[in-house]
Each structure stands twice: as structure tokens, then as C-alpha cells.
Amino acid sequence: MIHARNLPFVTTLAIFVIAYGLCVLQFPNMLSTRVIGNLLTDNAFLGIAAVGMTFVILSGGIDLSVGSVIAFTSVFVAVMIGSFGVHPLTAFLAALVISTLFGCLMGAMIRYLLIPPFVVTLAGMFLARGAAYLVSTQSVPITHEFIDTMLGFYIRFPGGGRLTLLAMVMLVVFAVGIVVASRTRFGANVYAIGGNIQSAELMGVPVGATTIRIYALSGFLSGLAGIVYTLYTSSGYSLATVGVELDAIAAVVIGGTLLTGGVGLIAGTFVGILLQGLIQTYIVFDGTLSSWWTKIVIGILLFVFIVLQRTIIWYSDRRLAVRQLKEV
Amino acid sequence: MNWFTRRLRRLAPQLAALAIILGVISLVAPGFLTVSVQNGRLYGSLIDILVRAAPVALLTVGMTLVIATRGIDLSIGAVIAICGAVAATLISEGYPLPVVIAVSLGVGIACGLWNGVLVAVLDIQPIIATLILMVAGRGIAQLITEGVILTFNDDTFSALGSGALAGIPIPIYLWIGTALAIGLLIRRTALGFLIEATGINRRAASLAGVRARFLLFSAYAISGLCAAIAGMIVTADIRGADANNAGLWLELDAILAVVVGGTSLNGGRFSITASLIGALIIQSINTGILVSGFPPEFNLIIKAGIIIVVLTLQSPAIVTVFGFIKATRRGDKLNHGAKEATR
């Protein structure tokens, strides 16, 4: 018997497997390792950002600044390398430090000024986008030997597919995220805060430190996603990645994480990302469908999963009530 | 008179902020405050602010009601794109103007009702419920325009965006008229009061006999209606429907206008007038940065800075601290008085 809490995740996994099966029936070529390799590489930056978003949503918050932070990091890294001739590793380190501090600051505002996360990260979104415009409003290309060797590094699958460095980074982030969420004290605290912040505080969970760490983690991962995006496009552009936070939130919800916080799995987000990537790949394979169908299908999927979540909550509440009645 | 001073006290911070911002801009950019009449039409930066503020101001009216019910409507930017696409399609197919306007408004209300169903009937959190239409809406708008920027040439329709009546641009009439109509409807009846009750505690309100579900429906429907009017103004102004960029991020500007206007995101007491002044503040900042010759790159970061300052000053933590200082001062005075008396 599957636990009701894990039902959304199992449903998503089943939908993904069935959808992939149907796609393969129509286009047998979609079963190649090339398609899978590209699926992972194309969605690497989104996946990394979505891991941070999962932690934030698990704690009952939301982070709208993700897309802007990615844009800022990418343009910052590109200008550092392209215009100032800084070594890529130094630029990456600086970008990660800035984005982590930015996340810390937002977490502190949420915790100590008691402003809702939605509003704080909205202001953060404007600030990061504005900072990106300040750095440069033009698309900045980057060429550096070190980056070329980074992009040239990949593991070859049988069948011609490539597991690129970018995809590897995403997979590592997901693996670490799963361990942190399920096996560490920090992860348990995140779930506790998302379940009920007052109970968590009374139980002695360090709510302040954990909140700041959650948003710092989201900032760090957004920064990392920005670096991956820069490598992926070999350029930095301040107008890029508008609305990526919505894609990330959609992936988290489709992956079965409850938006009220406290329930969800990092692995679910991974399947959510794959499902979004699959829709895009299918549209490319089909050739007659237009790109706007991606948005509509993701909207429909969001709707289906949210209604599913509501039904599960309603059902488990009712079962709990029935049990309590019986005990009485 | 008492009513008037009470209103003024409520609006004082917003009015002061608007006055300061306008004052600073007029210091930096001389000639900012002049309004001239050319070809029987008013021109000037102040008029420009009022015209450009029209879409955000319209959205703000609906958003204030939705936020007062403890909700939020993220979809209005996408609704602008959908209604703009519908209006442009109908106009270019030669339908008469009243039909075009009626259908666009109907589509806007339908979008609002969809959100209402999710929030009021299925009990989904508003931020998530409206996220669905926010993501899918632009896709739907592109479906209607078939992926192109649909342009049209119809002078009567484009007058909605760029025309003038008795010297005053038409968008100004539209947003002030809509705000007045909805404001009077809400405040001259018990509706506003009931909406506040629903926002503060929906369950208690329902138990007290308030039809909370109906109120939620109407709040989201009004929000959709306002977005439809804004969508027509935007479309008429550029004589084309751009499914990707029409109304992009305007929902965030509207939310900020409401927050700057002092309505709490936790629902309850609201003031449409204060939210509208908030919308004017945001537009003044936008226009002011352009007029005073700053590079437009500074636009967002200055806006973000001002918003963070306003949010910090309004945040519950700071308000509690201020309240505490006030209370201790009053307490000191009382203690002092008591000591004097015993002496």
C-alpha cells in the first residue's frame, strides 16, 4: 500500500513513464540515449534552481527571485571573464558568494521583519534584475580556454548520447539535495517548519537560523544555476531567464510537493523537470505543434496535480476524522 | 468633517510619499510640473503619468478587492494578454466596436470566474490557483493570435488608448471612471464591509451568515473585468496584440501598488483610494526616472530600493517596535503624572 503522502509522487512517476512510452510508440527515435542526454543538459539550470525551490516550498515559503538571480549571475560572470579577464573559477566563486549573501538577506527580512516571503522575494526579483541591467544591458559572449575544456568534458553513453558536465552538476545537486532533505537535521527542520511553524518553534527547532539557511541555499543554487546557464549559452544576458521561477515552481508542484509546505520529495521535483522536458522534446519531434502548447500543457498538468493534492488532503482529513469518531 | 479628517489621516503617508517623489523629480527636471494645451489636448509630464498609470491603476482596483479577501491574483497580466488578443482578433475581422468591447469584457470576467471556482469551490490557495492561468494564459493568448503580433487599423478602437475627450486623454476617464464605479458599489453598500469580514476570518464570516463564496467569486470576477479593460487600453494604445509582452509583470506592479497603499496582504481592511495613490507613486517613479535623464537601467533598481524601504517601514516587526516606543512614552507620562499627583 502506497502512503497517501507519496501518492502525488507515484502518480507523477507513472504519468512520466506512460507519457514517455506513448512518445516512443509514436517516434521510436525518442528512446535513444541522445534524446535523454539532451533532455538532461537542456534542463540542467532549471533542475538546479528547482532543488532550491523545493526546499523553500517545503518550508512553506516561496522564492520569486530565482529567474532574476540566474540572469544576474550569468551577466556578472560573463562581464567578469569577458571584460575584466578574471579566471572563470574566481568569477564563479564571487558569483556564488554574492547570490548566497543575497538569499541570506532575504531570509533575514522574512524572519526578522515578518514580511511575507512572497513580497520579500518579489522585491528581491526587482533588485536582482535591476542589478543585472546595471552590469550590462547587452548580451555578453564569453570565450575562455578553461570554459571550452569544461564544455568539452562528457561521458559517452552507448548509442551516441552524451552526459555533459552540466547534466552531471544537476544530477549531483539532486543527489545531495535528496540526502540533505531526508538524512540531515537541517532537512528535518525544514519539514518541521513547513508542517507547522509554531509547533516547530515550541519543539526547539531553530526557526530563525533555518529560515535564513533555506533562502541562502535557494540563493546559492540559483547562482549555481546561473553559472550553468552561462556555460550552456556561452554568454550572459540580463534579459534572459524571465519567468524561470514559474517553471521551477511548476516542476516542484507537479513533482508532488504540497504548496502549503511540510510534504514532498526532492526526487519528485526531478521527475517534474523530466516531464516538462519531455513535453518540449515531444513538440520538437512532432514539428507541427507550436511552442505555446508547452505553456498550455504545463498549465493543465498544474491544474490536475493541484486538484489531486486537494482530493488527497480532503480524503486523509476525512479518514482522520472517522478514526477519531470511532475512538470516541 | 470628522469623516474627512479620518480619511486624510489614513491617506497621509501615501500622499506625502507621492508629494515627496513629485517634488524631487521637479527639482531634478525643471518643467516637470508644467501642463500645456496643444491642439485642444492637455500635455505634460503630469498628464503623462495619469495616462501611463491607467493599466496598473485598473489592475490595482481589482487586486485591492482580491487581497482584501486574503487572496492574490497572479493571472491578471496573462488576462491582459488574452483580452488584448481577443479584441485585436475581433477588430481585424471587422466586428462592430460594442461587440468587441462586450466580448473582451466577457472573456475577462470568465477568466476571473475560473480563478473564483478554484479558490472558492476547490479551496486552493489563491497564489497557486491563479498561477495556473498565469502560466497557461500566455499560451492561450498565443493560440488566439496564432503566434504573431496581431496588428489592426481601426481609429475608433485605438481611441481607447490614445484618444482624448474634452482635452483629457480617454485612458484617464476609463480608470478613474472604473475606480469610482467599483468604489461606490463597494463602499455605498455593505459589500466592502462583508469582503473585509471574509478576509479577516472566512470561517467566522460564513458562520455569521456572510456568503463568503459569492464574495470571493465577485472579487476575482471584478479583478478579471479590470484586467480586461486594461488589456483593451494596452492593445488600443499600440494598435496590436502582443501575446508575449502585453501586461508582462503588471500583476507584480499592481500587488506593489496595493502594498504601498497600506493594505495588508493578510486580508481585511482595504482602501482603493490608497492603492490608486500607490499606483500613481509607482508610475511617477517610472516617468520621473525617464524625465530626469537617468539611464533606464537604473529604473528597476531605484524602484526596488524605494519598495524595500516602504516595506521595511510597514513591516509588522517595525510597527510593533514603534507601537512599543509610543506605549512606553505614554506610560512614562502617566507615571510622571501620577507621581506629581501624589506629591
**Segments making up each domain of chain B, as ranges:** 40-293, 301-331
Is A1's pLDDT higher than 50? no
Alpha-carbon gap, residue A134 to A136, rounded angstroms: 6
> Looking at CA atoms only, how far is residue B311 from chain A in angstroms?
8
Residue B91 in contact with partner chain A when CB distance is under 8 A: no
Q: What is the mean pLDDT of chain A?
A: 88
Q: What pLDDT shows up at residue B323?
A: 78
Residue B293 in contact with partner chain A when CB distance is under 8 A: no
A132-161: average pLDDT: 83
Neighbour-count burial for B56-76, b at 16+ CB within 10 Å, e otherwise: bbbbbbbbbbbbbbbbbbbbb
- Specify the amino acid at residue A279: I
- The cell numbers describing A170, all together, are 544537476
- Architecture of the domain spanning B40-293: Orthogonal Bundle (1.10)
Mean pLDDT is highest, among A6-15, A70-79, A135-144, for: A70-79
Alpha-carbon gap, residue A49 to A222, rounded angstroms: 5
To probe the interface with B, which of A119, A138, A280, A292 has the most B CB atoms within 10 Å? Answer: A292
Nearest by CB to residue B307, choosing from A123, A260, A298, is A123
Residue B321 in contact with partner chain A when CB distance is under 8 A: no
A12-40: average pLDDT: 88
Among residues A183, A272, A166, the alpha carbon closest in space to that of A227 is found at A166
For residue A259, the 8-state DSSP code is: T
Alpha-carbon gap, residue A255 to A161, rounded angstroms: 26
A120-144: average pLDDT: 87
For residue A63, the 8-state DSSP code is: -
Residue B164's H or E segment, with its range, is strand B164-165
Is A5's pLDDT higher than 80? no
Q: What pLDDT shows up at residue B341?
A: 59
End-to-end CA distance of chain B: 42
pTM of the model: 0.85
CB contact under 8 A, B139 and A292: yes
Nearest by CB to residue B304, choosing from A127, A253, A259, is A127
- The cell numbers describing A224, all together, are 549555481
CB contact under 8 A, A126 and B128: no
> What percent of the residues of chain B are helix, what percent strand, and what percent coil, each to the nearest 5?
75, 5, 20
Please enumerate in sequence order all residues whose Cβ is within 8 A of that of A194, keeping only pairs 6 or more positions apart, or say none: A57, A58, A59, A60, A260, A261, A262, A263
Residues paired with B37 in a beta bridge: B42
For residue A261, the 8-state DSSP code is: S
Neighbours of B322 (CB within 10 A): 11
Q: A144-153, pLDDT tens digit by residue?
A: 888 888 888 8
Q: A77-94, pLDDT tens digit by residue?
A: 999 988 888 888 999 999
The ipTM value here is 0.78
Tally of CA atoms within 13 A in the half-sphere of A91 that contains its CB: 27
Neighbour-count burial for A118-127, b at 16+ CB within 10 Å, e otherwise: bbbbbbbbbb
A119-133: average pLDDT: 88
CB contact under 8 A, B133 and A299: yes
Is A194's pLDDT higher than 80? yes
> Looking at CA atoms only, how far is residue A266 from chain B in angstroms?
19
Alpha-carbon gap, residue B87 to A158, rounded angstroms: 53
Percent of chain B exceeding pLDDT 70 equals 96
A157 close to A37: Cβ distance less than 8 angstroms: yes
Contacts of B150 in chain A (CB under 8 A): none
A182-207: average pLDDT: 92
Question: Residues in chain B with pLDDT < 70?
Answer: 1, 333-343
Q: Which domains does chain A have, with CATH numbers?
A: 4-327 (1.10.3470)
